[in-house]
Chains A and B, each alone.
Chain A
Amino acid sequence: MLTIAGLNKTYPNHKRGLEAVNVTFAPGVTAIIGPSGAGKTTLLRSINRLITPESGSVRLGDQEIRTANAKALRKIRHRIGMIFQDYNLIEELAAIDNVLHGCLGGKTWLAGILGHYTAAEQARAYELLAEVGLADFATQRCADLSGGQKQRVGIARALMQSPEVILCDEPIASLDPASTQAVMTLLGDLAKRGIMIIVNLHQVDIARQYADHIVGVNQGRIVFDGPTAGLNDAALAAIYAKEAVAEDA
């Protein structure tokens, strides 16, 4: 379980990112939805501390993340995979190299610098590329791949970490409908294997189609937290309410 309690984040420009956020993520696919600037990305990035909240608690199992020291944080991050809207791959390198980067967090300093990967790790990277349908593209430069293919390389990189959780920051925002379906189906399959998937989405219909659980965010506050079936018109109105925006403006 991933538990967030009393989480607060205010940006240096005094913009409120998160306000007293309490939410528990369970295995399965959880979609975080809300209007632009609502705090979806801040919430997601607070989980692996790419953004550091001022107060509150983020716990993965019995491990506190918000106050973890550098060494502990690296170990926790290695248990949490992440995929990004802009893929964030090293475009000049081959797909297989990018997938192998997923191992870096578990390596010693020297092995990391030398880029020394064991035969088992290399075999696993190939397996994962095959799993995401890119076996034939393993040695191709990422710059030459399509958006959907790049996102699947990103997923393979996250899987290389053997993660307990995968955070997905708007993973389909730059994809066409066919690639969107492929990526979301893949994430659904991973959830069935026991990996907790937390995905930021702008598309409510996609969230309804693929998520087991929905978290609605508005103005840095959780305004809905429940099963997908419970996302009715009233809940959507609360999530996308403009009054909250006007009130704070």
Chain B
Amino acid sequence: MPNLYLRQTARRRWLTLIAALGLLVAGQLWLQLNDRQAFMGVWAGLAWLVHNFTPDAAAWHDLPTITYQLWRTIVIAIAATSVAAIVAVGLGLAGAATTGRIRWLRGGVRLFASVMRNFPFVAWALVLLFSFKQNDFTGFLALFLMTIGYLTRAFIETLEEVGGGAIEALEATGARYWPIVIQGVLPAAIGGLLSWVLYMIENNIRDATLVGMLTGTGIGFTFDLYFKSFRYPSAGLVVVTLIITTIAIELLATHLRQVLTH
């Protein structure tokens, strides 16, 4: 019996591998993709990038402009995430099974979070562009609306992880709902909640660059401007500063997360 099981498992594994390879070959034939050509194309593309996007002496003159626009982008990302986090805490409390007291509201919040989360921020930016025109506020709104969806969903799960036990214990003391939430639930969940906020700030700084290209603000617009005016070395400097900033913020967020959760 165990031998039969092992033989069947091995057969399944081989069939899966053959099916995957078959799909790959069929896809390549259908797209008329030449592996060798594609591989060589990647190297040629990388060589072109390095040659054209390496910052030169003229690009360094643009550094003050770039850092200023980068700073604006970071501020917009942090502001959008922070405001969304405040709203999401309220929605999370209403939507979590452990803290949400009204059944239909719990369902409504979950649906709202799902809709907001699944509407891409690029689409938000384009829609909002018509109403609010090209400015920082449009970028802020696009990030804010998408972040609300993500954070509400994440906060609901974090608040549910706190568990009903601690809440029940405080109910047993005769405490009211809001003192239970503020004195019991939030302190228990705060590490997890802040961890999500830091993660979203990291993400939003990256996303704010793309939003900026669409809304004509921040570092995204600066990159777009340099790129379209063929000032590739300056555009390359934008990319370098962006990479350094996102890595620095990621390291800072990791450190803060450790401090907050231990």
Interface residues of A (CB under 8 A from B): 48, 50, 73-78, 80-82, 84, 86, 88-93, 97, 101-107, 109, 112-113, 115, 154, 157, 161
In Å, the complex CA distance between A86 and B184 comes to: 16
11 inter-chain pairs at a CB distance below 8 angstroms, sorted by A residue, are A78-B174, A86-B165, A88-B168, A89-B166, A89-B169, A97-B187, A101-B169, A101-B184, A104-B173, A104-B180, A112-B176
Q: A90-B166, A93-B187 are in contact. Are A48 and B172 (CB under 8 A)?
A: yes
A80-B172, A84-B165, A88-B166 are known; give 10 further A-B pairs, CB within 8 A.
A50-B171, A73-B174, A74-B174, A77-B174, A93-B188, A104-B170, A112-B175, A112-B179, A115-B179, A154-B169
Q: Which of A73, A93, A97, A105 has the most CB of B within 10 A?
A: A105
Interface of B is mostly: helix
In Å, the complex CA distance between A73 and B177 comes to: 13
Interface assignment of B31: CB less than 8 Å from any CB of chain A: no
User: Are B171 and A77 in contact, with the CB atoms below 8 A?
Assistant: yes
Residues of A near B191 (CB, < 8 A) are 92
In Å, the complex CA distance between A84 and B164 comes to: 12
Q: Which of A48, A88, A106 has the most CB of B within 10 A?
A: A88
Residues of B near A88 (CB, < 8 A) are 165-166, 168-169
Interface assignment of B182: CB less than 8 Å from any CB of chain A: yes
* Chain B residue with Cβ nearest A97: B187
In Å, the complex CA distance between A92 and B184 comes to: 10
Q: Which of B168, B171, B188, B190 has the most CB of A within 10 A?
A: B171
In Å, the complex CA distance between A50 and B167 comes to: 11
In Å, the complex CA distance between A97 and B187 comes to: 11
User: Are A90 and B173 in contact, with the CB atoms below 8 A?
Assistant: no
* Chain A residue with Cβ nearest B183: A115
Per-residue CB contact flags for chain B residues 186-222 toward chain A (1 = under 8 Å, else 0) read 0110110000000000000000000000000000000
Q: A90-B184, A91-B188 are in contact. Are A104 and B172 (CB under 8 A)?
A: no
Interface assignment of B130: CB less than 8 Å from any CB of chain A: no
Interface residues of B (CB under 8 A from A): 165-166, 168-176, 178-180, 182-184, 187-188, 190-191
In Å, the complex CA distance between A113 and B175 comes to: 10
In Å, the complex CA distance between A48 and B174 comes to: 10
In Å, the complex CA distance between A110 and B165 comes to: 24
> Chain A nearest CB: distance from B234 CB in Å?
48
User: Are A90 and B165 in contact, with the CB atoms below 8 A?
Assistant: no
* Chain A residue with Cβ nearest B179: A112
User: Are A109 and B176 in contact, with the CB atoms below 8 A?
Assistant: yes
Residues of B near A97 (CB, < 8 A) are 187
Q: Which of B176, B182, B190 has the most CB of A within 10 A?
A: B176
In Å, the complex CA distance between A109 and B176 comes to: 7
> Chain A nearest CB: distance from B20 CB in Å?
45
User: Are A112 and B174 in contact, with the CB atoms below 8 A?
Assistant: no
In Å, the complex CA distance between A109 and B182 comes to: 11
In Å, the complex CA distance between A97 and B178 comes to: 17
Residues of A near B169 (CB, < 8 A) are 82, 84, 88-89, 101, 154, 157
In Å, the complex CA distance between A50 and B171 comes to: 8
In Å, the complex CA distance between A107 and B174 comes to: 9
In Å, the complex CA distance between A92 and B187 comes to: 7
User: Are A105 and B183 in contact, with the CB atoms below 8 A?
Assistant: no
User: Are A113 and B178 in contact, with the CB atoms below 8 A?
Assistant: yes
> Chain B nearest CB: distance from A74 CB in Å?
4
Q: Which of A78, A101, A102 has the most CB of B within 10 A?
A: A101
Residues of A near B170 (CB, < 8 A) are 101, 104
In Å, the complex CA distance between A176 and B188 comes to: 27
> Chain B nearest CB: distance from A15 CB in Å?
20
Q: A74-B174, A77-B171 are in contact. Are A107 and B187 (CB under 8 A)?
A: no
In Å, the complex CA distance between A157 and B172 comes to: 11
